[in-house]
């Protein structure tokens, strides 16, 4: 049997352009937020962003990145971390990994931001050393 040709599907249903969300004033194009509504990704005045990773505050971004990089060290080397905490040589055991992570940190947040706040050092002390002030 010969195959029946099928028409390509439209990426959006034909009725989507004519249907506006509930509460949208008449004549407002579909996809446009109604008065008092914020568009996706930009919170309305006084509200927190839907996704905290959309924040553009450099200090928050630097702190979050530092914690993520140090958390990766713990995740990839749990036994090495336990040994270092037990033997008191955590700093020496993780010297190379810390150096590489810090270089990545500086590359992503910039040298000025990296050197102006102790986010990376705080993450090392909080996460890698389990709250001990080693770094």
Going residue by residue through the chain (135 aa), what tens digit of pLDDT does each one get? 556 655 555 555 444 444 555 555 555 555 555 554 444 444 556 666 666 655 678 899 999 999 999 999 999 999 999 999 999 999 999 999 999 999 999 999 999 999 999 999 999 999 999 999 999
What predicted TM-score, i.e. pTM, was given to this entire model?
Answer: 0.60
How much is the pLDDT for 18?
47
Element of type H or E holding 101: helix 95-109
Tell me the pLDDT tens digit for each residue of 56-94. Answer: 788 999 999 999 999 999 999 999 999 999 999 999 999
- Average pLDDT over all residues of the chain: 78
| SS3 labels along 46-94 | CCCCCCHHHCCCHHHHHHHHHHHHHHHHHHHCHHHHHHHHHHCCHHHHC
How much is the pLDDT for 56?
74
Task: Sketch the domain layout of the chain as residue ranges.
Answer: 60-128
The DSSP code for 128 is I
Contact 61, 55 (CB under 8 A): yes
The total number of residues written for the chain in this structure:
135
């Amino acid at each position: 049997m010969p195959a029946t040709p099928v028409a390509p599907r439209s990426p959006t249903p034909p009725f989507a352009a004519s249907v506006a969300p509930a509460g949208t004033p008449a004549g407002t194009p579909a996809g446009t937020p109604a008065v008092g509504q914020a568009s996706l990704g930009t919170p309305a005045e006084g509200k927190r962003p839907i996704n905290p990773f959309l924040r553009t505050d450099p200090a928050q971004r630097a702190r979050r990145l530092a914690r993520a990089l140090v958390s990766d060290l713990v995740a990839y080397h749990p036994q090495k971390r336990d040994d270092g905490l037990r033997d008191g040589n955590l700093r020496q055991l993780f010297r190379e990994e810390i150096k590489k992570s810090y270089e990545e940190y500086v590359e992503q947040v910039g040298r000025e931001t990296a050197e102006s706040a102790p986010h990376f050092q705080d993450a090392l002390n909080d996460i890698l050393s389990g709250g001990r002030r080693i770094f």
